[in-house]
A = this chain, B = another copy of it.
Amino acid sequence: MATFDEAGVFDLRECADRPPLRVGDKWSGAVLRCLEDGPHRFTALKARLRGVNAKVLTETLRAMERDRWLTRTDHGGNPPHVEYALTGTGRSLIGVLDTACAWAREHQAN
């Protein structure tokens, strides 16, 4: 817990009162970053996020869609063509991410 190593999670449970914010899964932050420069397709995301497998990426994307951080647009056809794009909410979250990242850079001893 509370380390600066491998896994990066930031706990906001006690922010103000209930219900608190959760962006705590392993890949949401990375997805936010990947979509920062515009919409991307499933496979493109999977490629940029080195290490995710389809199942986990799907779960992450579905959750983010449900929370209105991104939209999923199925352009139909075969082979399929699906695009993911940030919403305004999703985009605004990146600012929070940046704040925290700045803090990390500043306070990371090594």
Say if the beta carbon of A54 comes within 8 Å of chain B: no
Asked if A26 contacts B10 (CB within 8 A), the reply is no
Question: Which residues of chain B have C-beta atoms less than 8 A from A104's C-beta?
Answer: 12, 15-16, 20-21
Say if the beta carbon of A13 comes within 8 Å of chain B: yes
Question: Which residues of chain B have C-beta atoms less than 8 A from A75's C-beta?
Answer: none
A92-B103, A96-B99, A100-B96 known; A13 vs B1 contact (CB < 8 Å): no
Say if the beta carbon of A64 comes within 8 Å of chain B: yes
Q: Which of A27-35, A37-45, A77-85 contacts B (4 or more CB under 8 A)?
A: A27-35
Say if the beta carbon of A7 comes within 8 Å of chain B: yes
Enumerate A1-28 residues with CB–CB distance to B below 8 Å. Answer: 1-16, 19-28
Asked if A8 contacts B24 (CB within 8 A), the reply is yes
Can you show 14 pairs from A to B with CB atoms below 8 A apart?
A: A2-B63, A7-B22, A9-B9, A9-B11, A10-B21, A11-B23, A12-B97, A13-B27, A14-B29, A15-B97, A15-B100, A21-B101, A92-B107, A100-B100
